[in-house]
Structures are given as C-alpha cells and as structure tokens.
C-alpha cells in the first residue's frame, strides 16, 4: 500500500515540475514575439490564440436575492402529566 502512495507522490512531483517548466517556456516563447509585430506569430501562437478565445470572457454577474422566511405559529396542546418511574436503576444494588 505504501508503494502505491510513493508512486502517486512521485508522479505528482514530476507533473508539477513539468507544469512549472512549461509555464516558464510559454512565457519565454511569448516574449520572443514582442518585437515581431502582430502578424508574425508562429503556428503555436496562432493556435493558442484561437483556443484561448473559445470561452468568452465576460464579467461575472450574480443576481443576489435576499433570503426571506415566513413566520409560523404553532398552537401546542397543553398536557398535564405526572412523572412515573418505571425502574429504579440509578445506582448499583445495595450490598448487605
């Protein structure tokens, strides 16, 4: 069981390292095209631009409605009851 945990931890560490390296490489690649102008991007940049526009970006607007509640009034019947002890087992038996 511990070998599975070790394997999962190793995979998670490697995937996070690859993610960091790829994010640095992507930022370095985008900096390379700063002086080239708008029309001189490579196909990688073109596809990245196309895929980033698939989800429309807009301001998130949540319609917040105030929570309301209704007061309810219950009429509970009044019952007079007398306590009845059915057993006397509150303490250990008395030893004589």
pLDDT tier at 9 (50, 70, 90 boundaries)? very high
pLDDT at residue 7 is higher than 90: yes
d(CA 88, CA 93): 10
Residue 49's nearest CA partner among 60, 38, 59 is 38
Residues 56-91 have pLDDT tens digits of 556 777 788 888 888 888 888 888 888 877 776 667
Quote the pLDDT of residue 3. 86
pLDDT per residue as tens digits for the range 11-65: 999 999 998 888 887 777 777 766 666 566 676 666 666 566 554 556 777 788 8
Closest CA to 29 of 15, 39, 8, 43: 43
- Higher pLDDT, residue 71 or 6: 6
What pLDDT is stored for residue 14 in this prediction?
95
């Amino acid at each position: 069981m511990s070998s599975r945990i070790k394997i999962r931890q190793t995979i998670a560490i490697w995937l996070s390292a690859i993610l960091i390296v790829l994010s640095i490489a992507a930022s370095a690649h985008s900096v390379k095209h700063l002086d080239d102008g708008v029309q001189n991007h490579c196909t990688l940049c073109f596809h990245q631009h196309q895929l980033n526009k698939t989800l429309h970006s807009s301001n998130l607007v949540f319609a917040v409605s105030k929570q309301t509640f209704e007061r309810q009034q219950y009429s509970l019947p009044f019952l007079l009851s007398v306590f009845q002890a059915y057993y006397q087992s509150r303490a250990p038996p008395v030893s004589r």
